[in-house]
Structure 1
Amino acid sequence: MPSDLNLRILPRTVQQETVDKLRLAIFSGVFEPGTRLVESQLCVQLGISRPSLREALRSLAAERLIDIVPNRGPSIPALTWEEVTSIYEARELLEVEAVGRCSQRISAEQLQALEKALSAFEAAASSNDSLARITTAADFYSIILANCGNPILEEIHRGLVARISLFRSRSMSLEGRAQSSLAEMKEIYEAIAASDEKAARKAARKHVLKAMAAAKKSMDSGN
């Protein structure tokens, strides 16, 4: 668990920085699944008022990163494998379709942006920066979704991004997973660059299924 994560924020950006800091703390494993969040402690750590904290917690609840139970307060959800499976199944449906459609629609300029995002993930995969891996992987997919030609599909996927990133952070903690993920994402990029819809869909499905297997292994090992 990172012990040097600085949670203190600047007053002028209280709302968004509180959400961002807490989201990164959850992704980093600072708060374990099932952990109850004590508002008084968080206010001290973050240096903010309780009303500001509660507004941020409501935003995170909307992303399904925390649960807020009446008379019990906020906590980090401890998902069952069945619930995790449902999220990955939805991710597979959305990303396979988006990647396939993107392969037939992406412009040369956007393809360059996708290649740049892949390079950023490659650099992150070779480092020990787990948060960089999460953000660069999310950037790669955001370009694909933005170029799939269906804004509703993109909107639905955006609603899953936080939970996808949460599982991505856990699976990426496994030895060798970041490099495997890189190889799978390269396959996706190459198929899109070749305008090969069939290969793009196949590569996207392979990537999600491999990620799901890594998430299962991570959960079984208690990571």
Structure 2
Amino acid sequence: MSEMNLRVSPRTVQQGTVDKLRMAIFTGLFQPGSRLVESQLCTQLGVSRPSLREALRSLEAERLIEIVPNKGPSVPALSWERAMAIYEVRELLEAEAAGRCALRISPEDLQALEASLNAFEAAAASHDGMAQVTTAADFYAIILASCGNPVLEEVHRGLLARISFFRGRSMSLEGRAQNSLREMRDIFEAIAARDPKAARKAAKRHVLRARAAAKIAMETGT
């Protein structure tokens, strides 16, 4: 894996530290089960120990890391059972959101959804794993925001970090990004056609295929 530049500019120290660490976890730079050594992270990021610890607390709240007394922070080794549970909830939330979105999305938000799909297509073509994760998240954020149920959106947001973690794993498989693009285009076209049944079906199919890809990636250590 190519080296990631973890350095943070002084103007955005706090949020920048969180963002860099989060993406390092999503892209596999910090593997599940690995310990995070604070002194090394401070050097890599170019931040102070207090700034780092505040960032680590934020990531702990997202359940991307765990901080054990007398042992320090580490990336938890997520079991496939936990991954399955997250994908099951994701399937329920995203299929329902896509169906509702097909009936409620505004023309302006439909344009934004298409733009996010185009951004994901560019990320897939460039093999940029970081951009694939973020643009896919943007695509679903528009669907969730347009579904007409703010509680559904809120619950999904609470899972976003862990969804993105597994998305990073599945996208690491050869050809998965292009397959994902086709599946996301099916979701978009169903929403654009104002067809809630087709939108639910396409969203469910996308999650099931993403889950299968993530399982292979986790089993092979990709």
TM-score, scaled to structure 2: 0.98
Q: Provide the C-alpha distance between the structure 2 equivalents of 1:12 and 1:172, rounded to a whole number of angstroms.
A: 31
Which digits, 9 at most, give the CA deviation of each residue in 1:42-90, with x for residues without a partner?
Answer: 1111111111111000001111111111111100111111010011011
The 5-angstrom pairing of residues 18-97 of structure 1 reads 18-97=17-96
2:156 is matched with 157
Q: Provide the C-alpha distance between the structure 2 equivalents of 1:98 and 1:115, rounded to a whole number of angstroms.
A: 17
Q: Provide the C-alpha distance between the structure 2 equivalents of 1:71 and 1:87, rounded to a whole number of angstroms.
A: 30
| Shift, 1:11, TM fit | 2.1
Which digits, 9 at most, give the CA deviation of each residue in 1:76-124, with x for residues without a partner?
Answer: 1111110100110111111011101100000111111111111111111
Q: Provide the C-alpha distance between the structure 1 equivalents of 2:127 and 2:9, rounded to a whole number of angstroms.
A: 27
Count of aligned positions: 222
2:140 is matched with 141
1:195 is matched with 194
Q: Which runs of 5+ in 2 are unaligned?
A: none
Q: Provide the C-alpha distance between the structure 2 equivalents of 1:173 and 1:47, rounded to a whole number of angstroms.
A: 28
Which runs of 4 or more aligned residues in structure 1 lie more than 4 Å from their structure 2 counterparts after TM superposition? none
1:2 is matched with 2
Q: Provide the C-alpha distance between the structure 1 equivalents of 2:64 and 2:153, rounded to a whole number of angstroms.
A: 20
Which digits, 9 at most, give the CA deviation of each residue in 1:18-48, with x for residues without a partner?
Answer: 0011111111211111000011111111111
Q: Is the 8 A contact 1:14 1:48 kept in 2?
A: yes
Q: Is the 8 A contact 1:2 1:30 kept in 2?
A: no
Q: Provide the C-alpha distance between the structure 2 equivalents of 1:41 and 1:52, rounded to a whole number of angstroms.
A: 14
Paired-residue identity, %: 73
Provide the aligned C-alpha RMSD in A.
Answer: 0.9
SS at match of 1:134: helix
Q: Provide the C-alpha distance between the structure 2 equivalents of 1:148 and 1:187, rounded to a whole number of angstroms.
A: 17
SS at match of 1:74: strand
The 5-angstrom pairing of residues 181-192 of structure 1 reads 181-192=180-191
Kindly provide the amino acid, as one letter, of the partner of residue 39 in structure 2. S
Q: Is the 8 A contact 1:171 1:215 kept in 2?
A: yes
1:124 is matched with 123
Q: Provide the C-alpha distance between the structure 2 equivalents of 1:2 and 1:166, rounded to a whole number of angstroms.
A: 18
Q: Provide the C-alpha distance between the structure 1 equivalents of 2:12 and 2:123, rounded to a whole number of angstroms.
A: 27
Q: Provide the C-alpha distance between the structure 1 equivalents of 2:44 and 2:123, rounded to a whole number of angstroms.
A: 28
| Shift, 1:175, TM fit | 0.9
Q: Provide the C-alpha distance between the structure 2 equivalents of 1:121 and 1:9, rounded to a whole number of angstroms.
A: 25
Q: Provide the C-alpha distance between the structure 2 equivalents of 1:120 and 1:204, rounded to a whole number of angstroms.
A: 19
